[in-house]
Amino acid sequence: MSSLFIISAPSGAGKTSLIKALLKTRMGLSLSISHTTRQPRPNEINGQDYFFIDRDIFNQMLERGEFLESAEVYGNLYGTSYPWVKDTMASGQDVLMEIDCQGAQQVRQIFPEAVSIFILPPSLESLKARLQQRGQDDPGTIARRLKAVREEVSQVNKFDYAVINNELDEALKDICCIIRAERLRMMHQLVKQHVLLAQFA
């Protein structure tokens, strides 16, 4: 029985670096790659960071029910392939999904047993600094992002876990422990350990 892990974070919480570090560990997670209609940023690779598609194709996929979740963020469409997630989990692999708060709630409705983690910055100031240092957005965009951040953080209580990204190594350990612990939950162990348990029946 595979698990589905959802990681959400407001912009500037350092989620991207954390996910990169997490995928380098041996936690055995398959990262779900989202489809999006937004333009690639410098260094973003199609099929690795996102599947970059146009609105027409996105809408066709949406109509065919191929998105587990989809959302419009800052005027761009994002969606997660439902067939890919189903197939990957059916093959016994745990899936990691990096999505926004809206998407997380949609996924939870379909997979109520999904494990959701919200990443928080250590302070509002550090988040503001990160947004400004990124240097890719103008002040208006930053102000709009900050408003969105407040809205996202107001949804934190809908998640199962909160991890503070103060030091990347500690936040990474937190996430790895959550994943390891979730795999030890009884509903998983009753399946994984059935041969052992049968010895005591």
* Measured distance CA(164)–CA(189) in Å, rounded: 29
Q: Give the residue, chosen from 40, 110, 193, 194, that forms a contact with its own copies under the rule CB under 8 A.
A: 193
**185 lies in the binding site for its own copies (CB under 8 A):** yes
Instruction: Compute the least distance from the CB of residue 114 to its own copies, in Å.
Output: 14
Per-residue contact track with its own copies, 31 to 70, x per CB under 8 A? Answer: ----------------------------------------
* Measured distance CA(9)–CA(69) in Å, rounded: 16
Neighbouring C-alpha atoms within 13 Å toward the C-beta of 161: 20
Binding segment for its own copies among 22-30, 45-53, 89-97, 154-162 (CB under 8 A)? 154-162
* Measured distance CA(128)–CA(150) in Å, rounded: 12
Per-residue contact track with its own copies, 106 to 145, x per CB under 8 A? Answer: ------------x-x-xxx---------------------
Instruction: Compute the least distance from the CB of residue 180 to its own copies, in Å.
Output: 4
Provide the residue type at 16 as one letter.
T
Can you give the length of the chain in residues? Answer: 201
* Measured distance CA(14)–CA(171) in Å, rounded: 10
